[in-house]
């Protein structure tokens, strides 16, 4: 570490970390994951301006449950003054790490120079990390994307800049900004970065089951990995990576009910069901449930409607035999 930042161990070897996902990793989502072995998880990413200007949604985004032993927050932004103010405003909250997002590929983010766009202004990105590290009471980490799929040099240079600025761990999504979430993961680039820096490197990209998790670890040399979209509707992904079994029909139904019950308690009935529809569909996707059952989800508006629909799911079961997503 440089600039006097004290190094701390944020993630142990072999840690499996849940990525911050906008619109997903709220408290109910994380509680579902934690029932299946997740220890390291993040709030949804939060834009610095939402904190600075007291967006009414911000408190629910950064909410931490009393039962959560470990929680990180991920900050998004490209306005340095606004980033500094946001860090000051969250400094009284309880987090185990503050991660700076430099990897989000969504156009409404990158057109403002934030997220993955920061990879193309590496010196400014490092300036942001340095400012956050100087102000944050929490250890500071970063999440980036590879900058070239074949040549490790630009990503290695970027990683070294961030390390010098005070970044204490670095997650690398192994796809280019323009590829979003498609295509192969640049495992050689992640491996080169791991060898070039002294801070822990977390490999991210393409983990959907135990086999892909093992392959990512093997190819990158990173024992620490981050899961993302593969865990949506599949909290058992943590179990299976650690040698457990995927769920059967009854176990899936029970977890889905618990998840949506938590969402209703957290968001209120109407909004909890509304926000929960995409979660419900994700639990059923790829597991053999009929298109008709999945199509009915868009018409759910209350807990009573969800409960009645859930009774049909339990009674009907998968139409082609339950598919165990591992």
Give the residue numbers annotated as catalytic, written as ranges: 104
Nearest to 220 by CA among 233, 236, 207: 207
**CA–CA separation, 176 vs 232, rounded Å?**
22
CA–CA dist 218, 287 (Å, integer): 28
What gap in Å lies between CA 231 and CA 225, rounded to an integer? 13
Q: Alpha-carbon distance 316 to 313, whole Å?
A: 5
- In terms of Cα–Cα distance, which of 46, 30, 185, 169 is closest to 104? 46
Contacts of 171 (CB under 8 A, 6+ apart): 17, 19, 99, 103, 141, 142, 143, 144, 201, 202, 203, 204, 226
Q: Which two tokens stand for residue 62?
A: 């950064």
Provide the pairing of β-strand 72-76 with 46-47: parallel
Q: Which two tokens stand for residue 142?
A: 């970063």
d(CA 238, CA 131): 34
- Which residues does residue 294 pair with via DSSP β-bridges, in sequence order? none
Token readout for 303 is: 């807990």
The CA distance from 131 to 77, in Å, is: 13
Rounded-to-integer distance, Cα 128 and Cα 45, Å: 16
Q: Are 175 and 183 in contact (CB under 8 A)?
A: yes
Name the β-bridge partners of 173.
145, 204
User: Length of the chain in residues, anyone?
Assistant: 326
**What is the C-alpha to C-alpha distance for residues 193 and 10, in angstroms, rounded to an integer?**
18
């Amino acid at each position: 570490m440089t600039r006097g930042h004290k190094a701390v161990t944020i993630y142990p070897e072999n840690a499996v970390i849940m990525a911050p996902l906008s619109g997903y990793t709220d408290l109910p989502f994380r509680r579902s994951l934690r029932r299946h072995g997740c220890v390291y998880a993040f709030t949804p990413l939060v834009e610095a301006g939402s904190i600075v200007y007291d967006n009414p949604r911000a408190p629910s985004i950064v909410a931490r449950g009393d039962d959560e032993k470990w929680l990180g927050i991920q900050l998004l932004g490209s306005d340095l003054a606004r980033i500094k103010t946001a860090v000051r405003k969250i400094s009284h909250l309880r987090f185990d790490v503050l991660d700076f997002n430099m990897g989000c590929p969504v156009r409404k983010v990158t057109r403002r120079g934030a997220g993955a766009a920061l990879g193309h202004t590496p010196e400014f990105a490092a300036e942001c990390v340095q400012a956050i590290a100087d102000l944050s009471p929490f250890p500071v980490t970063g999440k980036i994307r590879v900058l070239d799929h074949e040549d490790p040099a630009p990503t290695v240079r970027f990683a070294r800049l961030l390390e010098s600025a005070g970044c204490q761990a670095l997650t690398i999504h192994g796809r280019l900004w323009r590829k979003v979430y498609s295509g192969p993961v640049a495992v050689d680039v992640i491996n080169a970065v791991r060898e070039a820096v002294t801070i822990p490197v977390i490999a991210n990209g393409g983990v959907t089951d135990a086999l892909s998790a093992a392959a990512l670890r093997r190819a990158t040399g990173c024992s620490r990995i981050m899961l993302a979209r593969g865990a949506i509707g599949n909290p058992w992904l943590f179990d299976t990576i650690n040698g457990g079994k995927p769920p059967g029909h009854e176990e899936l139904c029970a977890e889905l009910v618990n998840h949506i019950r938590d969402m209703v308690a957290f968001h209120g009935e109407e909004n909890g069901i509304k926000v929960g529809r995409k979660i419900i569909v994700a639990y059923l996707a790829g597991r053999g449930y009929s298109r008709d059952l999945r199509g009915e989800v868009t018409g759910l508006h209350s807990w009573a409607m969800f409960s009645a629909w859930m009774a049909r799911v339990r009674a009907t079961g998968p139409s082609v035999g339950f598919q165990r997503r591992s």
